[in-house]
A and B are shown apart, each in its own frame.
Chain A
Amino acid sequence: MTRTRRRIAAGSLLAILLAAAPSVVAPTSVVATTWTDLAWPLAALFLVFEIQAWISLPGKWARIAGERVAQATTAITPPDTSSYLDAVDSALGLPPEVRAEIRAELSDHLDDSIEALEAEGLDRARATREALARLGRAEELARQLRAAHQSTRRLLAGAAGGVWSAGVGMIQGYLAVLGLIALSLNLGVLILQRSVDAAGVSWNGIKIGPSDLETITALLCVMAWVPAFVAGRRCVRASSRLSRRKARQLRGFWAIAGVAALGWLVTFQIGVQQSWLVVPCELGIPVLFAAGALLRPDASLHLPRSRSKLALVPAAILVGGLLMGTAVPDYGSGKDSLMSWPSDSVLGYDRVAPEGYVPCAPGLPPMTTDGRCVVPLGGGTLGINDFKGPWAGQWLVDGLKQAPFTSMRIEVWRALAGVSAWDMTDTVGFAVDPRSAAPYLIEPATLDGYFRIPADLGSHHQRRWLVFVTGVGSDGRRYRLGDPLWFGTTFTGTIWDWLTASD
């Protein structure tokens, strides 16, 4: 079996394992259920890039460029030709494998030439001098050979090969890291499950798996660091090999190109949740690519045995962080009971409409334990991305038609900095005025309420909002009607949008 076939077989096996392992190892884990959705597409992608081993595009470009892989020769060079060959070698300015090939070829030529001249009757010294003279000055020969190798054709092949190698290296590396972490996570979950079971602790109330979008996004970005570093190295190496130029001649170009291309990609094109945690992780990708291109890309990456174990430390931190840091208590249906809405004094309104003050609509059960009717959300959905641009929606008000409220409006309150989803209690602050308020229009025919908030909530870094309906009662005071709803405007734009957003 050839090396290529072995590589494909191993890759295919790994792809199948990636797809099957989580559900086999830890079928009840959260990771298994989420991984199952991703595994087959990822496995298919992995197979595609394994097939690349068959196609071997850089190899094709190499053939197009007329390149051949250097092979060692065992030519025996007379001592007095060595200095000539050394002079040619040092003036060539080509990659080491190409220089070795040229040196071997010239050495063979000198051997033949000297032998032929000796056969003509010249002594060894004169034959050597004559053979060297026929080749001409070493520097001139090296210059001509360099010009022959560093053609525009090869430069273009090097550019294409560099881009291809970087892309393939990035995707293959990312999939490999993703797969390894998924397998490690499942193994960790399995161990944890067994340990918890052995300790007789109920699983009820414990949830494993990243539930914080910000953390997940940051970890996914960090997972791209190593592939980016390797991609930078592979890019320079492939480009150097194909273009017949030294790696140190090319690495600056590829570092700048990588920072520009990947920087542009992560800054302007990839819209994920942004935060002070995520942005540096995203920008780390082009930085690591540049580091891979600049830091001796033609040297081996082998660590000394004594330090090789250090490479496991970041991997352990990453996997441990995913496993331990995201194991958050899941309070299930009781979660809401841990939260209380801001009191009227915090929000500055007189009071919540008392029980029975807002009669419930027929068919709409009370939503709170104290019997008040909650104005149910209907119509427009309030997902993260709905905060992009003016916010419009529909809020059903069946039942409110009977309520003696006037000047009804929808209000959006902004949480102060540092308020998290779990802090919406009486003790934490919200802005003293609504960020936005809009008239609440009731359609007489359908009794549906409509609102349209002109603000673009998604352009703000602020992440927590309270949204609720108020109305002025018959006593002239404004009441909060029902419980408010809170939303997190997690910023899902690009880095650029996030950096330029107002606070």
Chain B
Amino acid sequence: MRDGRIRGQLLKGTTPLLILSVLRDGELYGYEIAQRIREKSGGAFNPGEGSLYPALHSLESEGALQAKWGESDKGPRRRYYQITPAGQKLLAAHEAEWATFTAGMIGVTEPSHD
């Protein structure tokens, strides 16, 4: 951790979970997704933008996301991503997996009181 941020290596594998989580509340375009992740994590998560788009397109290929071009308030058209029912299921699976992971991690890393 440097400057309160999580190292990129640690974030690897969590990008789909982060993307699906922030899209649960509504459709966003790529830059907004990166911003939203940063904001919601209090700046702790700063996903590499180079890995953001491959992850978005991969989720779209899997049918977890649906993309469409739409107008933005900033002028040019943006490619908005929206979570699909398949994406909701994937998100639930990722969350369950993450819960198991964090519980296990806490169990291992917390000092023993014996």
Contacts and interface: CB of A to CB of B under 8 A. Distances in A.
Interface residues of A, number: 33
B31 A112 contact: yes
Given A68-B68, A108-B78, A108-B79, A145 B30 contact: no
Interface string A148-187: 1101011000000000000000000000000000000000
Given A74-B76, A153-B62, A134 B49 contact: yes
A68 B76 CA distance: 19
Interface string A90-123: 0000000000011011101101110000000000
B61 interface: yes
Interface string A53-96: 00000000000111010010111100000000000000000000
A457 B93 CA distance: 70
Contact of B50 (A73, A105, A112, A135): A135
A144 interface: yes
A71 B49 contact: no
Given A105-B53, A135-B50, A147-B54, A71 B61 contact: no
Given A73-B76, A108-B78, A134 B50 contact: yes
Nearest to B69: A71
Given A66-B61, A68-B67, A105 B79 contact: yes
A141 interface: yes
A134 B8 CA distance: 12
Given A64-B63, A66-B66, A135-B49, A111 B76 contact: yes
B113 interface: no
Contacts of A135: 49-50
A76 B76 contact: yes
Contacts of A104: 77, 79
Interface in B44-65: 48-51, 53-55, 57-58, 60-63, 65
B69 A145 contact: no
B50 A140 contact: yes
Contacts, number: 85
A431 to B, nearest CB: 69
A108 B30 contact: yes
A111 B32 CA distance: 12
Nearest to A144: B54
Given A105-B53, A134-B50, A153 B77 contact: no
B74 interface: yes
B68 A145 contact: no
A64 B64 CA distance: 10
Interface residues of B, number: 26
A205 interface: no
Interface string A382-411: 000000000000000000000000000000
Contacts of A134: 48-50
A135 B47 CA distance: 10
A444 interface: no
A75 B69 contact: no
Nearest to A134: B49
Interface string B26-40: 000111000000000
Contacts of B67: 68
A363 interface: no
B16 to A, nearest CB: 11
Nearest to B31: A112
A140 B51 CA distance: 10
A362 interface: no
A254 to B, nearest CB: 22
Nearest to A113: B31
A476 interface: no
A112 B53 contact: no
A136 interface: yes
Nearest to B60: A66
Given A109-B31, A136-B50, A145-B53, A73 B62 contact: no
Contacts of B50: 134-137, 140-141, 144
Interface of A: 64-66, 68, 71, 73-76, 101-102, 104-106, 108-109, 111-113, 134-137, 140-141, 144-145, 147-149, 151, 153-154
Interface of B: 29-31, 48-51, 53-55, 57-58, 60-63, 65-69, 74, 76-79
